[in-house]
Each structure stands twice: as C-alpha cells, then as structure tokens.
Amino acid sequence: MTKQKIVECVPNFSEGQNREVIDKISAAISSVDGISLLDVDPGPSTNRTVYTFVGSPDAVIEGALNAARTAFKLIDMAKHKGEHPRLGALDVCPFIPVQGVEMEECIYCARKFAEKLAAELKVPVYLYGYAAQHEYRKTVPQIRCGEYEGILEKIVKPEWKPDYGPAEFVPQWGATMAGARKFLIAYNVNLLGTKEQAHRIALNIREQGRSKEEPGRLKNCQAIGWWLDESNIAQVSINLTDHETTPIHTAFEEVSSDARELNIAVTGSQIVGLVPLRALLQAAEYYIQKENLFILEEEQKIHLVINRLGLNSLSQFIPKERVIEYMLPDQQSGSLINKTVKDFVCTVAARTPAPGGGSIAGAVAAMGAALGAMVGQMTYGKRQWEMYDVQMRRLIPILHYTMKELLTIIDRDTTAFNDYMAALKLPRTTVEEEAVRDAAMEAGLKKAIAVPMNLARAVSKVWEATKELAVVANIGTKSDLQVGVKCLETGVLGAYWNVTINTEGIKDEKYKNEVLQEIEQHRYLAEKNCNEVLKLLQERKA
C-alpha cells in the first residue's frame, strides 16, 4: 500500500489565556478539508498556544493560512505579555515531514505559506530552519533576538529585511517565522526552585550555553528557565531540535544532575504538544538498560517512561492523545494484519490471486515465533523455573522481535505480487515499451522473491533459541512449542515454494542461482532443526 503524504504543522500563536480566541483558531484549522487537528496546548503563563495538525502538503498550507487569518482579527501584540519569548501573533509556523514526504516538500510548504501570508495580510515573514535563505538568520533564536519590542528598530536594517512582506513594523501583528524542520520536542522539566535557578541550569545544558566561550553540554538543545504561576513551580523549558542526537531522557537526566548539585527537587516533567513514538522508546531502552529490566511490549515501555520522567506530574499524559503515530489518520484500514482473523481468512478464500501462499506463509511463521515467545514467557518468572530466568531474558526477545518482523511479511508479500501484476499490464506495442515492460517485470519478480527470502532468513535466526527452549522450558508448554516449530517450518517451506516459482521468470542467471542456493539452505535448516526440536521435546519427561 502506498502511504498517503502527511505533513505536520505546529503553529505557535501568542495567546494562551483567552479561551474564545484559542477555540476560534482551532475551528479555523479544523474547517479545512483534509486536516486533522491533533492537539491544542495553551499555556496561561507563557500566554501562548501550540496547535498541532496534519494533512497533505496543500491542506496544511491552507490550514495554517486559515488560522493566521483568524488570529489577525483577534490578537493584538501591542497588548501581549507572557513568559515565552515571541516575535509576533503567529510566532513560528514550522512544517515537518511525517509520512511519504521529504524535507524538500516541507521547504516548499514553508515558502508557499510565507508568500501567501505576506501577500494577503501584508505582514513581514522570515524563513528559518531548512527553509532559510540566509545562514546568519537560520535559527529561531537568531531571528527572534530582540523579540517583538525590537522589531521597529531591527526590521529597517538591510540584513533584516523580511523574506516576504513589508520591511516595516506592524504593531498589531509583529512578525512571523515560517520554516521546515525535523520533529522538535518541546519539553519542560519541573523544579521546586526559583526562575533564576531554572535559567542557570538552562544555560548549562543548552547548546549555545552562556556564550561562544562557554557553550552548553547538549547538542541540538535550546533552553530557558521560567516560572509557572498556575503550578507555582519553576521549569527548565527545552526545545530538542533533533531527539536522535539529544534524546528526552538525556535532557531530563542532565537537568536532574544539575538540580541535585543545587539541592533543588525535580518533580517530573512535561511534554508540550505531541511526541514521536521513537523518542519515548529511546527513553524506555535507556531505563531498561540502566536498571536491568526485562520489558518487551510497547505499551509497557511507554508506561515505564511516563513513570521515570514523571510525565503525569502536571496533567495526565495519555499516549493515544500525545504520541503522533497513534494520532495519525488511519492509513492501514485495508492492510491484512489489521483485519480480524475471520476477515483475514475470508479474504484469502476469495476469488483473487492475492493474498495467497506468501502472505499465509508469513502469518503461519509469525504464529510459530509467537508460540515460541509464549513458551518463554510461561517459563520466565515462575518459581519452579527461576533458575532459567537469565536464559529466558535472552531467548524471549529473539522470538518476540522475529514475530514482529514476520508480521510485516503478510502485507509486503501481497504488495509485491500486485506490483508484479502491474508490470505485466504495461504496454508493449513498440520496442521501447517492450524493454520498459521487461525491466519492470524483472524488478517485480526480484521484489516478489525478496519478501519470502526475508521470511526464511528471519526464521533461520530462531532455531537455536527454540532448541534451548525445548531443553529447559516449562514442560506444560511442550505441545505449544511443538506446534510453534511446525509453523516455523511451514513458513519456510512456503517461502521456498514462492521463491522457486518466481525464479522461473528471472533472466539474471547469476542472481537466480544465488537465490536458489540460499533458499535451499534455509529449507534444509528448517526441516533439520524442526525435527531436532520435536525429538528433544518428545524425549523430555519434565
């Protein structure tokens, strides 16, 4: 299935106290066809609201424009005060790639939005991030320096001429920054201290530090300290512009370390807006390794992170409302793995060539790995088998993650078959068209071969684990492991038959021979190891 193009837009408006204004901007965004408004996060002390919505590139441009039109009528920057630094009524408007788009398309969104905003509302707009046209004003702090109050003097300088719109001060609006960037995580750590102490820690950790001579410790990290009247606490307010470089847990641990040195209590933290699933799983893996925990399920990993980072400290952190992947419009309604078992079986039984044997091989193999993982789980943590706990902590993940990998085969096999059928339907009325069709068919066959080959490779990685389980696992799960290894063997045999039939149409002899040799080896290993596991289980008495 081709994934729909999805861009995220996160405009920050300088209004966090007037509920009527906040709601009207929300309604303006939601009124645009193709837009899903995922989150609205107002901050009374910062007097700022962060909106998060997704849609196609054209839809998010229109959604941001519609929000700006509404804000233009309702927000007066001449009267605005708040803890958060700001440049204008619509302070920043970033576009972020989420699914099926590259950064270049988000740069297009930022520039097209900036052009339209400036032309329609006659306001100055600066480009930042990947959309920036000047290196010296590429970051938000560079452009925002002097804030709203400094625009009057700054904007008339040639080097600060806006990228779009008039080079003049618009008191009601200020100026806007439009950009393209990677996913930014807005993250605050709570302190029972003063605003000044929070800012002192912020200077220690943020990349720019106190000066060029005194840089901070964390890359891709912006931070300031502020005070929250509504919660009666201080916060180190952090923007992580690349969470792969500086993850959430690193920021939390660094702030906590400095707070301990100052004898300040840390009372949890807060994610503003949405967060990528990957960022939470990064943090989970850190605490799992640090504390030598054994956690496999995604839901439990997220629960661990919520606890360790104290994400419920100011308001409840609900993953299905805060993790962007959980919030995206459902693009998988037609996928096989999201069907009920009944619907999946009936789809296979229908008078269509796909899904067929390849998808079934993936499903059967995935169930085999799942049964192996279950056998490990039914052994781990039980007093009778506790002498094998360390061993189970090593074996269970092998089968668990193989199960996850094999599940992807179910849809990928059907997609590969459909791609090959599309190549078959290409025209061949000319020599050129015949050559294009032949190349597409060869590529389609190789893709159709790659899917079952990956299935066989995945299963070959778990045989040693199943043999270890057969020797020591909870004897009450003997039949489950017997069924499981036969499922794994059947999955590999399915892969073998799919590969061999598809290689018949391959013209690349070298590739064909390599593939046939490899799949024969996987078939041999499957039959040999399956029999060995069954023999071990049959001979066990307890």
Active site residues per annotation: 84, 413
Q: Tokens 């499981």 correspond to what residue?
A: 484
- Give residues with Cβ within 8 angstroms of 425, minimum separation 6: none
Q: Read off the DSSP letter of residue 502.
A: H
Q: Are the CB atoms for 386 and 392 separated by under 8 Å?
A: no
CB atoms within 10 A of CB 472: 15
Strands 6-9 and 125-129 turn out to be unpaired
The helix (H) or strand (E) run that includes residue 42 is strand 36-43
Q: Exposed, middle or buried: residue 135 (CB in 10 Å: 0-12, 13-18, 19+)? A: exposed
Residue 108: closest CA among 143, 162, 61: 61
Q: How far is CA 444 from CA 319, 417, 507, in A?
A: 39, 8, 12
Tokens of 443: 């590529």
Q: What is the 3-state secondary structure (H, E, C) of 87-99?
A: CECEEEEEEEEEE
The length of the chain, given as a count of residues: 542
Backbone angles phi, psi at 12, to 5 degrees: -110, 115
Q: Are the CB atoms for 492 and 387 separated by under 8 Å?
A: no
CA atoms of 234 and 185, how far apart (whole Å)? 19
CA atoms of 224 and 236, how far apart (whole Å)? 6
CB atoms within 10 A of CB 535: 11
Q: Are the CB atoms for 317 and 271 separated by under 8 Å?
A: yes
- DSSP three-state, residue 275: strand
Q: Are the CB atoms for 456 and 406 separated by under 8 Å?
A: no
Q: Are the CB atoms for 491 and 365 separated by under 8 Å?
A: yes
The string of DSSP codes covering 506-523 is ---HHHHHHHHHHHHHHH
CA atoms of 436 and 324, how far apart (whole Å)? 40
